[in-house]
Structure 1
Amino acid sequence: MTPAINAARKARITFDVLEYQHDAASESYGEEAASKLGLNTSEVFKTLLVSLTGHKSNLAVAVLPVSHSLSLKAIAKALGAKKADMADPALAEKTTGYVLGGISPLGQKKSLPTVVDNSAEALDRIHVSAGRRGLEIALKPDDLVTLTRGIFAGITAQ
């Protein structure tokens, strides 16, 4: 059981857990998940941490399709920050309590501002990491935003 799954259970939302055998040689955790689970890459979302300048929080969480890249300008704008940069990987792991490739937007050690790409709103369910490599949780996008106290915004690079 991971903190992400525990958070979903505690909230009493409807979700499914999907597991696959993670290949340590895989270059993209999200694309590996989509491939091994037979999912479209537009339904599998990655969790990235960004460092913010000019915002009350030093870090924030971006959740976006694995098939897209994050627009740092767009996430900074969505959060009202002056600037966003990718967070240091060691800081991301320490702050969330998860390892890279297994960072879930749910059940993190510290509650951070969260932005879910607005492409999720058109989907019935999305898949995000359930807190470790090889483990995904499928849930409604609105449930994810509610549980993370996040917002929807366009944060992918065009």
Structure 2
Amino acid sequence: MAGRKGAGSGATPATVALAAAGIGFVLREYHHDPRAGSYGLEAAEALGVDPARVYKTLLADVDGRLVVGVVPVTGQLDLKALARVAGGRKAQMADPAAAERATGYVVGGISPIGQKRSHLTVVDAGALDHDTVLVSGGRRGLDLELAPADLVAVTGATTAPIGRS
């Protein structure tokens, strides 16, 4: 995946960060239905992609600091596992408004890439089992397909088993 493919509707902080880092990615756009129950499962279906390759970006409050967890849309974030990896004792889902302020993105379009502020990021280790994964591109209806190693590199992430079915 050399370069940027499928560019159509403008840059986001995530695409700018990837381009600046020289990381190849593919833009995957789809029509977002505001009534969709799950943004990630909606993306997988609309793009015709195995949902196991589509990852959601969640923010948790771990002992008073925000931590980013990136897990498959087919499962959930294991808050206890995330707290352990982050060196904390307790984690809870972050307030959506706080997540939006800290990342510069809106819920349902939060990308792990190009966030307004840098946060400890943990990508579920299962991502490494795939040639490519999809994550939000920074707005609803836009995903980025890239190699998991590139996702880890550009976010400075740690990988660990933080997802559960």
Q: Deviations over 1:85-129 (max 9, x none)?
A: 000000000100000000000000000000000000111100000
The size of the alignment, in residue pairs, is: 155
- In structure 1, the partner of 2:7 is none
- In structure 2, the partner of 1:130 is 137
- What's the RMSD between the two structures over aligned residues? 0.9
TM-score between the two structures when normalised by the length of structure 2 = 0.92
Match of 1:104 among 105, 111, 119: 111
Q: Which has the higher contact order (CA 8 A, sep 6+)?
A: 1
Match of 1:39 among 49, 61, 64: 49
Tell me how far apart the structure 2 counterparts of residues 124 and 80 of structure 1 sit (CA, whole Å): 29
Uncovered stretches (5+) of structure 2, i.e. residues with no partner: 1-10
- The letter of the residue matching 1:154 is P
Question: Per-residue deviation at 1:19?
Answer: 0.3
Tell me how far apart the structure 1 counterparts of residues 144 and 57 of structure 2 sit (CA, whole Å): 13
Tell me how far apart the structure 1 counterparts of residues 107 and 77 of structure 2 sit (CA, whole Å): 16
- The letter of the residue matching 1:47 is T
TM-score between the two structures when normalised by the length of structure 1 = 0.96
Question: Per-residue deviation at 1:157?
Answer: 2.4
Q: Deviations over 1:8-39 (max 9, x none)?
A: 11111111001000001001000000000000
- In structure 1, the partner of 2:8 is none
2:29 maps to 1:19: yes
- The letter of the residue matching 1:6 is V
Uncovered stretches (5+) of structure 1, i.e. residues with no partner: none
Tell me how far apart the structure 1 counterparts of residues 101 and 37 of structure 2 sit (CA, whole Å): 22
Equivalent pair of 2:137/2:143 in contact (CA under 8 Å): yes
Tell me how far apart the structure 2 counterparts of residues 106 and 157 of structure 1 sit (CA, whole Å): 23
Q: Percent identity?
A: 50
Tell me how far apart the structure 2 counterparts of residues 24 and 15 of structure 1 sit (CA, whole Å): 26
- In structure 2, the partner of 1:85 is 92
Match of 2:148 among 141, 146, 151: 141
Tell me how far apart the structure 1 counterparts of residues 163 and 132 of structure 2 sit (CA, whole Å): 19
